[in-house]
């Protein structure tokens, strides 16, 4: 009997470190493998960096910054002439993890500093998924005076006050299904583990029933129709001409397509945002920052 007991104890001691190792095994689903800087991002050196602090977990986080006058251009589009500015990373190749007709979970942490200033009727997007050839995002998160989630079909969901998002790391988990039928849930958004938005009907445009779009996640800082902020807080120069843009959701207007060519008496506030632990996967437990942390899974870096 004594030999049997000693054998069992030896087996348990041999097994214990392997259980611990299993809990700490990395999950290799960081989006960093399949993202690159958006070509339209402005060109200033401070636009993007991987920094040692602040971080949510691990040793590094992603830092994005945009200032007054920062705008970029690429073949086929010019932010400087369409009332915009951005610095974003984008999914590459498209459909790498955001796939038409499929569901995907995204998980990340975001830190919006306390000094972040809302642009009011202008738009600050901190996260979106675009379909190639379609101007409106399939979904996007806008942070202004009243932050909200916006779907491609025009429906929205409030996500709380801007103040509730500022000054600390927020853990975000999103489920999005890019199909048209047969699902119980098509979208969910969790903030610090609490469900804020849920959608049980498809949000993808009907046009994509006939063809599969090329989808791509984007995150960072994207400001649009910024002349609305300048006109509200400053004075509109006499030489300014109005701007209007048509899109699938209708028509958007603003005071000027080229706001950085003029003196409005004010400038846009500088925006800085941090992201950490950005993952994509087939299951919530493989991307949810809090679930991974509780299991002892190592940080992305």
pLDDT digits (tens, 9 = 90+) for 74-116: 988 999 999 999 999 999 999 999 999 999 999 999 999 999 9
The pLDDT score that the predictor gives to residue 250 is 86
Q: Average pLDDT over the chain, rounded to whole?
A: 92
The pLDDT score that the predictor gives to residue 8 is 41
Which of 15-19, 43-47, 107-111, 205-209 has the least mean pLDDT? 15-19
N-term to C-term CA, the chain: 49
Residue spans per domain, the chain: 29-227+272-295
Q: Which of 240, 294, 234 is nearest to 264 (CA)?
A: 234
CATH code for 29-227+272-295? Answer: 2.60.120.200
* Radius of gyration from C-alpha coordinates of the chain: 22
pLDDT at 10 over 70: no
**3-class state of residue 110 by DSSP:** strand
For strand 84-91 and strand 103-111, is the pairing parallel, antiparallel, or unpaired? unpaired
Say if CB 211 and CB 102 are below 8 A apart. no
Say if CB 265 and CB 95 are below 8 A apart. no
Give the model confidence (pLDDT) of 242-265 as tens digits.
999 988 888 999 999 999 999 999
Share of the chain above pLDDT 90, in %: 87
Positive or negative, the CA dihedral 263, 48, 274, 223 is positive
Give bridge partners of residue 141 from the DSSP assignment: 149
């Amino acid at each position: 009997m004594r030999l049997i007991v000693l054998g069992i104890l030896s087996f348990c001691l041999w097994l214990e470190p392997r259980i611990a190792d299993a809990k700490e095994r990395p999950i290799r689903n960081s989006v960093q493998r399949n993202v690159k800087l958006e070509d339209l991002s402005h060109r200033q050196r401070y636009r993007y960096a991987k920094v040692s602090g602040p971080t949510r977990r691990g040793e590094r986080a992603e830092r994005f910054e945009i200032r007054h006058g920062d705008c970029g251009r690429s073949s086929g589009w010019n932010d400087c002439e369409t009332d915009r500015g951005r610095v974003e990373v984008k999914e590459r190749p498209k459909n790498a993890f955001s796939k038409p007709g499929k569901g995907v979970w995204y998980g990340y942490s975001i830190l919006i500093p306390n000094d972040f200033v809302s642009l009011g009727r202008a738009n600050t997007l901190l996260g979106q998924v675009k379909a190639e050839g379609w101007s409106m995002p399939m979904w996007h998160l806008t942070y202004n005076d009243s932050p909200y989630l916006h779907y491609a079909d025009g429906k929205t969901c409030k996500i709380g006050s801007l103040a509730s998002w500022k000054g600390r790391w927020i853990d975000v988990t999103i489920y999005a299904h890019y199909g048209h039928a047969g699902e119980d849930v098509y979208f969910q958004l969790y903030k610090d583990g609490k469900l804020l938005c849920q959608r049980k009907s498809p949000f993808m445009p009907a046009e994509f029933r006939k063809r599969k779009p090329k989808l791509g996640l984007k995150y960072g800082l994207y400001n649009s129709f910024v002349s609305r902020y300048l006109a509200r807080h400053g004075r509109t120069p006499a030489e300014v001409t109005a701007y209007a843009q048509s899109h699938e959701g209708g028509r958007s207007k603003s005071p000027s397509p080229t706001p950085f060519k003029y003196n409005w008496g004010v400038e846009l506030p500088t925006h800085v945002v941090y992201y950490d632990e950005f993952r994509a996967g087939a299951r919530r437990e493989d991307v949810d920052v809090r679930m991974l942390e509780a299991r002892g899974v190592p940080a992305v870096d």
